[in-house]
Amino acid sequence: MISPSLVEARDMLLSELKERYYGTSRVDVASTFALRSLARVRAGTPFKEFKPGLFTSYARSYIVPLVVGIILVSLFTLGQVVYWMIIIGVLMIVTSLIADNRRGHRLHIDDKGITIEGSTYWWSDVAETAILTGTVHVNTREQRDISYLILVFRHGSYRKFDLGMYHAFWGLNAELSRYIEYFKASATGPPASNGASAFAGPSAPNG
């Protein structure tokens, strides 16, 4: 059971997705408390960062098909294998450079708040945290899995953040939720003043 605030945020996000894509399916939203991994966070952990995982997404689209191609062409000629290996090497280098350029998109969590997309949001301003997952239909044939972090603020607005670029070995949603809940419980961030949001970042409440 999710709160009315999360229901409202979910419905608004779904409306945005329906305008952007051909359609949606299997969309669900759950609080980070419900999604969290039950593994304990080591006591004294000062912060947690999640980095963009561009290589993993590129691997699904490029590297894996190329590896399959290498296996196939290796049945015929060694020269073709060398050719494909060079292509794979170039793709890996390009992907690494892109990842370096996007280091500013690291998701940082500590006992003061969460920093994402270059802005910091204090835990004292955040009423609820949740993750929306589902599938969108890019067109009649292509589908894409989606995942969004949702922050609902105490003054009623919310912000959404696309988690598609991030990854975690044990599963992003459970790991991210685990650290969010851990640091929220030990929050030391500055309190909001006059009921207004004290986060550093864009003034528009809905992203």
Report pLDDT digits (tens) over 166-203: 877 778 999 999 999 999 998 876 655 433 333 333 33
- Tens of pLDDT, residue by residue over 98-147, are 555 555 578 999 999 999 988 999 999 999 999 999 888 888 888 888 89
Model-wide pTM > 0.85: no
Q: Distance between CA atoms of 183 and 166, rounded to whole angstroms? A: 19
- Token pair in block for residue 124: 């004292």
Q: Distance between CA atoms of 1 and 52, rounded to whole angstroms? A: 31
3-class SS of residue 180: helix
Residue 35: CB atoms within 10 A of its CB come to: 21
- Tens of pLDDT, residue by residue over 60-85, are 555 556 666 666 666 666 666 676 67
